[in-house]
């Protein structure tokens, strides 16, 4: 919650953050997009972490922050 309040509040209020998205749903969403598309989501496996998921030539990759 501190992360959202301090750093993502404006993006949340602008409607650019969907909320909690499961990994499988994020991957299926990205596979329908152009390569280079990315999304940020709360990690399923690391409490308080943000996952950057991105599409690169038909493959979805994830990086934990």
CA of residue 3 relative to chain centroid, distance: 14
Q: What is the average per-residue pLDDT within 23-36?
A: 91
| Mean pLDDT, range 9-37, rounded to an integer | 86
Enclosing domain of residue 37: 21-65
CATH number of domain containing 61:
3.30.505.10
Q: What is the mean pLDDT of residues 22-45?
A: 89
- Residue 15 pLDDT > 90: no
First-last CA distance in the chain = 15
Domain annotation covers residue 16: no
**Is 13 inside a domain boundary?**
no
Q: Is the pLDDT of residue 37 over 80?
A: yes
Q: Which of 31, 19, 21 is nearest to 61 (CA)?
A: 31
Residue-level pLDDT at 31: 93
More reliable by pLDDT, 40 or 31: 31
Domain count for the chain: 1
């Amino acid at each position: 919650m501190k992360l959202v309040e301090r750093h993502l509040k404006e993006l949340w209020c602008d409607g650019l953050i969907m909320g909690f998205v499961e990994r499988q749903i994020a991957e299926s969403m990205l596979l329908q997009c152009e390569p280079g598309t990315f999304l940020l989501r709360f990690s399923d496996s690391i409490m308080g972490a943000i996952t950057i998921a991105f599409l690169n030539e038909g493959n979805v990759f994830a990086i934990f922050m």
